[in-house]
Amino acid sequence: MVEARGESFPEIRESVRKLCAGFPGAYWRARDREREYPTEFVQALTREGFLSVLIPEKCGGAGLPLSAAAAILEEIHRSGGNAAAAHAQMYTMGTILRHGSDAQKQKYLPAIAKGELRLQAFAVTEPGSGTDTSRISTAARCDGDRYIVNGQKIWISRAEHSDLMLLLARTSPRDEAKPTEGMSVLLVDLREAVKRGLTIRPIRTMINHATTELFFDNVEIPRENLIGAEGQGFRIVLDSMNPERILIAAECIGDGRFFIDRAAAYANERQVFGRVLGENQAVQFPIARAYVQVSAAAEMVAKAAALFEAGGPCGTEAKMAKLLASEASWAAADMCLQIHGGMGFAEEFDIERKFRETRLYQIAPISTNLILSHIATHVLNLPKSF
């Protein structure tokens, strides 16, 4: 493994590496081929307490900072695995932690920490709204002590492998003057909802991601499942997005390091023209460049995590970290594939699978253009284009 200088949480990283050694490339290839959820891997992560590190100790978790969760996800990805099957459990609970009532925290967080309840799904995106969240049309109409939900969501990952889901829905119609108001966050018990009007339809994609489409047909949700104030859902969701972006950026760093490890190892062993590939500077330099890019992006991820942990604003840094890390991991993926020549295309090397997987992060959970647009208008004071 190529040295990554000054790594935080060395003991946690070592335990994650040990766990991941039990889930080698063959495990991930088999799941990928059949588009199967990596249940055994997620159960092992849960058993070892890795998914509850961010839950406060008083609620049964480890109460560790965000950078510890980032180290866990980075190591999973560096080992060749994919944490996307479970990463949402780490950050979606933050919505309940920061905006839920005491009763909600008591009811859900200890059970999530114990692994008795899975909160793996977060439903925001809709076919008709795309990136413009203010245009979601899934509606939650208040009727006495319940909401009645109708509408459709798309790209909702892990809904089939979760007990609970956070849902962003309109509780009042869109007002042009305040387009981001009038949305609310509801906690949906998926085990009940699928019996009463919720249809979950899997979408087969270029990666094994357990993502789905959801159809709500008069689904009833108890009013007590409203998280935070009614109408303030957009702000609540935004608040949860910073840790999500930082953690996904950490996964990209792990991917980048995986590609660098593999490329350096292959360049040191593959013989062509009577010498190892790595003797050629035209082979060395792209690996060195990827190392520089991933290391620089890792610094930004660490900075964004530190700002989040200090409780200050970190939205811009979280977005910059995600942009830099997703571009660095993609550049490293391309480099690694090139250095493997034809072997990069062989399933058994895991390069082609990781290449497909790391591409997602320039699109989800927020696409590169939207980050650039934020920097342009919020940091550089350029005029808004939408």
Residue showing tokens 């980032």: 70
State yes or no: residue 50 binds ligand FAD (CB under 6 A).
Answer: no
State yes or no: residue 382 binds ligand FAD (CB under 6 A).
Answer: no
Between 94 and 365, name the residue whose CB sits nearer to ligand FAD: 365
Number of residues that bind ligand FAD (CB under 6 A): 22
Choices 55-63, 90-98, 134-142, 362-370 (CB under 6 A): range interacting with ligand FAD: 362-370
CA angle 47, 250, 212 (to 5 degrees): 70
Instruction: Pick out residues in 207-266 that bind ligand FAD (CB under 6 A).
Output: 209, 211
Whole-angstrom Cα distance, residue 91 to residue 66?
Answer: 9
Between 275 and 384, name the residue whose CB sits nearer to ligand FAD: 384
Buried b (16+ CB within 10 A) or exposed e, 134-172: bebebbbeeeeebbbbbbbbbbbbbbbbbbbbbbbbbbe
Instruction: Pick out residues in 121-160 that bind ligand FAD (CB under 6 A).
Output: 122-125, 130-131, 155-157
Between 1 and 370, name the residue whose CB sits nearer to ligand FAD: 370
Residues 142, 367, 375, 376: which binds ligand FAD (CB under 6 A)? Answer: 367
Q: Is the peptide bond before 365 cis (omega within 30 degrees of 0)?
A: yes
Choices 222-230, 325-333, 338-346, 356-364 (CB under 6 A): range interacting with ligand FAD: 356-364
Q: What residues contact 337, with CB distance under 8 A and at least 6 apart? A: 344, 345, 351, 352, 355
User: Closest CB to ligand FAD belongs to which residue?
Assistant: 130
State yes or no: residue 314 binds ligand FAD (CB under 6 A).
Answer: no
Between 72 and 360, name the residue whose CB sits nearer to ligand FAD: 360
Q: What residues contact 239, with CB distance under 8 A and at least 6 apart? A: 95, 98, 99
State yes or no: residue 358 binds ligand FAD (CB under 6 A).
Answer: no
Choices 51-59, 222-230, 324-332, 360-368 (CB under 6 A): range interacting with ligand FAD: 360-368
Between 214 and 263, name the residue whose CB sits nearer to ligand FAD: 214
* Chain center to CA of 66: 13
Choices 2-10, 189-197, 204-212, 231-239 (CB under 6 A): range interacting with ligand FAD: 204-212
State yes or no: residue 200 binds ligand FAD (CB under 6 A).
Answer: no
* Shortest separation between residue 57's beta carbon and ligand FAD, angstroms: 28
Instruction: Return phi, psi of residue 369, to 5°.
Output: -60, -35
Using an 8 Å Cβ cutoff, are 189 and 146 in contact? no
Using an 8 Å Cβ cutoff, are 190 and 13 in contact? no
Residues 172, 180, 199, 205: which binds ligand FAD (CB under 6 A)? Answer: 205
Buried b (16+ CB within 10 A) or exposed e, 72-87: bbbbbbbbbbbbbbbb
Using an 8 Å Cβ cutoff, are 251 and 84 in contact? yes
Instruction: Pick out residues in 277-306 that bind ligand FAD (CB under 6 A).
Output: none
Between 15 and 129, name the residue whose CB sits nearer to ligand FAD: 129
State yes or no: residue 322 binds ligand FAD (CB under 6 A).
Answer: no
Q: What residues contact 55, with CB distance under 8 A and at least 6 apart? A: 61, 62, 63, 93, 97, 109, 112, 113
| Interface contacts to ligand FAD, rule CB under 6 A | 122-125, 130-131, 155-157, 205, 209, 211, 360, 363-367, 369-370, 373, 386
